[in-house]
Amino acid sequence: MRKLKDNKVLLVSAAILILLLCVYYRKPLGEFALKCRDNAVVKIEEYKEHSVERKAVRAERKAERIAKREEKREAKRLAKEAKKLEEQQNSASVEVQAEEPIVLDTEELIKTRSFSSEELALISEQNGVVLTASDGSRYVTRSFTDEDGNPTMSYMLILESVDGVTFRPCDEYVYSAACVKLFDSPSYINAVKTAGQWEEFKRVGIAENGCYQLVTGEGRILYSNGEHFRRYREDMPLTETINMPAERIELEIDHLNQNPTLPNGCEITSLAMVLNKLGFDVTKENLSDNYLPKAKIGKANFYKEFVGNPRNEDSYGCYAGAIVNAANSYLASQGSSYKAVDYTGSDFKTLLELVEKGKPVIVWTTCYINEDPGYTTKWVVDGEYLVWKANLHCVVLKGFDTEKHTVIVDDPMRATEEYDMTLFIKRFKQFYSQAVVIE
C-alpha cells in the first residue's frame, strides 16, 4: 500500500515537472498537439498519393492484359471466319459444278415435260414466266438471240437444292424494300445484280435460313437474304379518283359485335356477318374455333393464318388469305357452291361496284381511322421474313354515298359507321388494298 502511494507521488511530481518545463520554454501543449496533428495529416496525404499511384499502375496493367486477350480473341475469330469463307468457296465451287443449271430448248421441253406447243406459244418471248410440268418440275422462261440472230426461248430448271441449301417451293411476287445485292448462288459469294428499291421479283423458293430464290424480270434465277423483301410495296399511291353517278347505297346487314367473346376477332366477325347475310346460320365463335387457321405468335404466317387466337386480347390478327381459307373451309363443309374470292390489289372503285351489285365486301383498314398504321413486330416463319403492321382492323363495306363522298361500313367493334371516302381509301391502300368477297 505504501509502495502504491509512492508511485502516485512520483507520477504527480513528473507531471508537475513537465508542466514547468513547457512554461519555461514557452511551448504550450496545444502547439505541440497541433504539430503532431500536422505531421499526421502529411503522412496520410503521402500515403493516399502512393495508394492512388499504385492503383493506377495496377489498372493500367490490367487494361493491357485485357487488350491482349481481346486481340487474341479477335485474331481467332477472324481466322475462323476466313477458314469458314474458304470452306464455303471451295464447297460452292464444287457444288455449282455438280448442280450446273439444266436448260432446255422448246423442242426438248415439249418432248420431255409434256408441254404442248400451244402452251409454250402463249408465253413466246416472255421472260421470267414460271412453268410447272406434269411431273412437278418447274422452269423459268428466258429469251435470247442465237448465233444466227434468231429469237430463241430457253427454259431453266428451278432446282430445289442449290449449294447444299434446300428450298421450299412457292410462287408469289415480292418487292425489295431497299437496294440489296442478289447473288448467283445461296452462298452469297458472287453478287451479280443490285435490286432497286421496290423492284419486283417472282419468289419461287424459300430456305429455312431465310434465303430467297428469286426470278428476275429477265428470267434469271438469283438468291438474296429475304430480310429486305416484302410481299407488298410501300410506295404505291394512297389516293384514287372515284367517278360514279350520284347515288347512295346501303345494304342491309345484321350487325355482330366481336366483343366480348372475340376481342381480337374483327376479321372472322366480319366474315360471319357476310355469311349470315347470304343465309348461312353460323356464329362468329363457330367460325373462329373450327374453321379459322391459327398459330402462335412468332410461329404464324399472317398471310394464311391468324396470329394467336381471336379469343385472346394479346393476339394480333390476320390478312385476307386466312379469311379466304376459313370461308372456303366452312362453305365446303356446307356443300355450298359459294366461294371466297381474294380481291386484294383491286381498285376501290371495283369494290364499290360489287356493293352496287348487292355484294358486301370484307376490307382491311385501320382500327382508328384518323391514325396511320405502324410497324411493330418482326418474326421469321419457315424462312419467310414477316413484319406486322399495327392498328389493323377489318370491317364490312356495305354502302357508299357518292354525293357526300362517304363510305358506309359495318364495324365489328362499333356498329354502322360512315367515313370520308378519301380517308378510307387511304387506310385501305395502306393495308395493301386487301378485300374478300363471297361469290
Residue 120 has pLDDT above 80, yes or no: no
pLDDT band of residue 137 (cuts 50, 70, 90) is confident
3-state secondary structure of 85: helix
**Torsion sign, CA atoms 402, 406, 411, 416:** negative
pLDDT band of residue 135 (cuts 50, 70, 90) is confident
**pLDDT at site 424:** 98
Mean pLDDT, residues 110-135 taken together: 68
**pLDDT at site 383:** 96
Q: Are strands 200-207 and 191-195 parallel, antiparallel or unpaired?
A: unpaired
Spatial separation of the C-alpha atoms in residues 434 and 361, rounded to whole Å: 10
Residue 6 has pLDDT above 70, yes or no: no
The per-residue DSSP string of 218-261 comes to TS-EEEEEGGGEESS-S-S---------S-EEE--------TTT
Helices (H), 303-420: 320-333, 348-356
Cβ atoms of 275 and 301 within 8 Å: the answer is no
Cβ atoms of 410 and 336 within 8 Å: the answer is no
279-294 pLDDT tens trace: 999 999 999 999 999 9
**pLDDT at site 70:** 64
41-91 pLDDT tens trace: 566 666 566 665 666 667 667 666 666 666 666 666 666 665 665 555 554
Which has more pLDDT, 157 or 69?
A: 157
**pLDDT at site 366:** 96
Mean pLDDT, residues 195-202 taken together: 96
Q: Cell digits for 349? A: 372503285
Mean pLDDT, residues 378-406 taken together: 96
**pLDDT at site 178:** 92
pLDDT band of residue 95 (cuts 50, 70, 90) is very low
CATH 3.90.70.10 fits 248-438, yes or no: yes
Spatial separation of the C-alpha atoms in residues 407 and 423, rounded to whole Å: 10
**pLDDT at site 97:** 39
Mean pLDDT, residues 386-412 taken together: 97
Spatial separation of the C-alpha atoms in residues 104 and 403, rounded to whole Å: 59
pLDDT band of residue 92 (cuts 50, 70, 90) is very low
Cβ atoms of 421 and 234 within 8 Å: the answer is no
Cβ atoms of 123 and 145 within 8 Å: the answer is no
Cβ atoms of 239 and 425 within 8 Å: the answer is yes
* DSSP state for residue 27 in the 8-state scheme: -
**Torsion sign, CA atoms 328, 332, 334, 335:** positive
Share above pLDDT 90 across residues of the chain, in percent, rounded to a whole number: 62
344-357 pLDDT tens trace: 999 999 999 999 99
pTM of the model: 0.72
**pLDDT at site 4:** 46
239-250 pLDDT tens trace: 999 999 999 999
Cα-only R_g, the chain: 39
**pLDDT at site 132:** 84
Give residue limits of the domains in the chain.
103-230, 248-438
Cβ atoms of 162 and 185 within 8 Å: the answer is yes
Longest dimension (CA), the chain: 142
Which has more pLDDT, 378 or 46?
A: 378
Q: Cell digits for 135? A: 411431273
Q: Cell digits for 405? A: 363522298
Q: Cell digits for 281? A: 346460320
CA neighbor of 422 nearest in space, from 238, 299, 244 = 238
Mean pLDDT of the chain: 84
3-state secondary structure of 265: coil
**pLDDT at site 2:** 45
Spatial separation of the C-alpha atoms in residues 72 and 89, rounded to whole Å: 26
